[in-house]
Amino acid sequence: MQAQALERIGHQVEFLLACDQLKSVARTTLLHCASRAENSAEHSWHLALMALTLVEYAPPKADIGHAVKLLIVHDLVEVFAGDTHFDQSEAEHEQQRCREQAAAHQLFGLLPEDQRQPFYQLWQEFEARVTPAARFARALDALQPVLLTWGAGAQGSAAHPELTLERVLNLKRAALSEFPALLALVERTLAQAVIEGILTTDH
């Protein structure tokens, strides 16, 4: 029994150490202070905190504890697949989806057999965006970069000169349309950024 226990925890530690690499996966979003790029581990932590803080805007049937699990797991595959730019072509997104699918099998395959499928299912649920918890998690994933880049006091807007008010809204509406308060927050944040001259429009 002792040998089996040591083997099991060995697999779990191997998985956890592999996941530590998420701290080295740089995202295109800068920190709110713009001192450097946010990494994917920080992003996941921030989203989990947002779920707990903004729980009142979740769908009535959304399990917030479950949403937090989805957010902690959703970007783990980037350990092996890397991050992707939000404005890539559909062909590039499809290539990234293939890389992430392979990465999911590789990463979660490090776990003991009885834990592999539960972790993989969490990742799949976030990607499918069908359950109330997954849709709320995805909405927060869309909201967070807006707050870091154009929220009050943000310093990183100059890093994305290609983005305009219209382009950002087009990128975010699908994920946020189910959540009027969160969509309104994005619209207000971007409108203020235009007033302050840190975000342009297409007009």
- CATH, residue 130: 1.10.3210.10
Q: What is the pLDDT of residue 86?
A: 63
Does residue 92 carry a pLDDT above 80? Answer: no
- Backbone phi, psi, residue 39, to 5°: -100, 165
Does residue 158 belong to any structural domain of this protein? yes
CA 11/CA 14 separation, integer angstroms: 5
Q: Tell me how far apart the terminal alpha carbons of the chain are, to the nearest angstrom.
A: 70
- Compute the average pLDDT of residues 2-12: 94
Does residue 201 belong to any structural domain of this protein? no
Q: What is the pLDDT of residue 91?
A: 81
Does residue 203 belong to any structural domain of this protein? no
Domain that holds residue 18: 2-195
Q: Which amino acid is at 110?
A: L
Q: Give the pLDDT band of residue 96 (cuts 50, 70, 90).
A: confident
Structural domains counted in the chain? 1
Does residue 83 belong to any structural domain of this protein? yes
Does residue 169 belong to any structural domain of this protein? yes
CA 19/CA 12 separation, integer angstroms: 11
Residue-wise pLDDT tens digits, 150-201: 999 998 788 888 899 999 999 999 999 999 999 999 999 999 999 999 999 9
Does residue 151 belong to any structural domain of this protein? yes
Does residue 38 belong to any structural domain of this protein? yes
- Compute the average pLDDT of residues 72-101: 85
Q: What is the pLDDT of residue 85?
A: 65
Cβ neighbours of residue 172 closer than 8 Å, sequence gap 6 or more: 142, 143, 146, 183, 186
Does residue 98 belong to any structural domain of this protein? yes
Q: What length does the chain have?
A: 203
* pLDDT > 90: percent of the chain: 85
Q: What is the DSSP letter of 31?
A: P
